Structure 1
Amino acid sequence: MANPVPTDPSSPTVVIVPGLRDHVDEHWQTLLANKLDRVRIVPPLENNKLSVSARTAALDAVIQDIDGPIVLVAHSAGVMIAVHWAQQTTRPILGALLATPPDLEQQPPEGYPTLEDLDSNGWLPIPRRKLPFPSIVAASTNDPLASRRRVAGMAESWGGRLIDLGEVGHLNPASGYGNWPHAEELIEELLEVRKVATS
């Protein structure tokens, strides 16, 4: 096992939780990771790539290897991985940025896993219990993978603060993102919320 990543209370580690396409060079999560000093990215799976239990186990392995405070930054199916993981852990998390979660309970567009595949691999139903940490849920108004209304319902169930990003598609390279500087601002906002709550 690798040595734990050292941290201190004033400098949390950001854990990047990618979606099913894993590492994409021009994705905003990858570009964000390149800017940060304390960051870990959940690595891609070699087997069982569609298994939610394998995905949550991979996230848990990264988190267990970190000493100190953690902020999750998840996108797309990575949001669902983070939410499923949160239902089965007692590890404290400072907060989570949950960007453009997909509505896995609706038939995805062509080229994505089917509802049957998602169901058989443990993704359904979408967890709707309140998360044990603060969260910001970022919604697109023209996301092909989820309506703004459905994302608003998820945010409410999770106890997260919903923000509208406008017409950003699925917030991925296919939609023109790329760099997304707003992510850093939202991470800072999560940290400020935690400071206020503990002061």
Structure 2
Amino acid sequence: MKISEAEIVLLTGYGDTAKGHWMFRWQEKMANASVLELKNRFHPELKVWRDTLVARVEDATKPVVLVGHSLGCILIAHAIHNLPKDKVRGAFLVAPSDWDRENLVPGFDGGAFKPIPRAPFPFKAHLVASRNDPYCDYAVAEGLAKAWGAGFQDAGEAGHINAESGHGPWPEGMMSFALFMKRLG
């Protein structure tokens, strides 16, 4: 599948996402990509976020490919049974955060985002994980990929794969995403 044939919905994670983050750069480079506006970024409510995602997918006029980072990956896992079955073609997941871990984010217990669903995704998925992500142990990310039926990619020691870890443009990620899109055929 060509990138231009889909609506690319980008889902950021918990808290503020720096403007230099690769997701915003991807939005600028791809005319058919948009970052989903999610409310209460420091106190997210699963139902509100899930309903926002479902409404966005329902409004799509082309097949949808979801791109999640951190809590955005976990949101996708929680939403799979609510998403229109004929609209989502795939999910590209980057650096999922482990909300089952105690005190992952001081001051927010993870709310309804835990436990993390382990049901297989009903569409193709690919997960990129870092060996030194402070928000998710590598083995946990690998286990999530296996449970979700996702392809798995070792990003090496890349931190949380965000602007703070030096991944503003993240050209390797764009190349990996392009290969994933090609596999969606």
TM-score by length of 2: 0.90
> What CA deviation, in whole Å up to 9, does each residue of 1:44-85 have, x standing for no partner?
315994211111111112222211111111100000111111
The alignment's C-alpha RMSD in Å is 2.1
Q: Which residue of 1 aligns with 2:45?
A: 51
Local SS of the residue matching 1:129: coil
1:151 aligns with 2:151: no
Q: Where in structure 1 do 4 or more consecutive aligned residues deviate above 6 Å?
A: none
* From 170, 179, 184, the counterpart of 1:189: 179
What are structure 2's unaligned runs of at least 5 residues?
none
Of the structure 1 ranges 90-99 and 24-33, higher mean CA displacement relative to structure 2 is found in 90-99
Local SS of the residue matching 1:94: strand
AA at the equivalent of 1:45: K
Local SS of the residue matching 1:71: strand
1:104 aligns with 2:99: yes
Gap change, CA 1:180 and 1:13, over 3 Å in 2: same
Q: Distance in 2 between matches of 1:112 and 1:173?
A: 23
Q: Which residue of 2 aligns with 1:94?
A: 89
Q: Which residue of 1 aligns with 2:23?
A: 29
Q: Distance in 2 between matches of 1:59 and 1:101?
A: 17
Q: Which residue of 2 aligns with 1:174?
A: 164
Instruction: Please state how far the C-alpha of 1:176 moved relative to its aligned partner.
Output: 1.3
Local SS of the residue matching 2:18: coil
Q: How many residues align?
A: 183
> What CA deviation, in whole Å up to 9, does each residue of 1:137-158 have, x standing for no partner?
0010000011110110000000
Identity of aligned residues (%): 27
Q: Distance in 2 between matches of 1:111 and 1:151?
A: 21
Of the structure 1 ranges 47-56 and 127-136, higher mean CA displacement relative to structure 2 is found in 47-56
Gap change, CA 1:177 and 1:68, over 3 Å in 2: same
The answer to whether the 8 Å contact 1:101/1:151 transfers is: yes
Local SS of the residue matching 1:113: coil
Q: Which residue of 1 aligns with 2:56?
A: 62
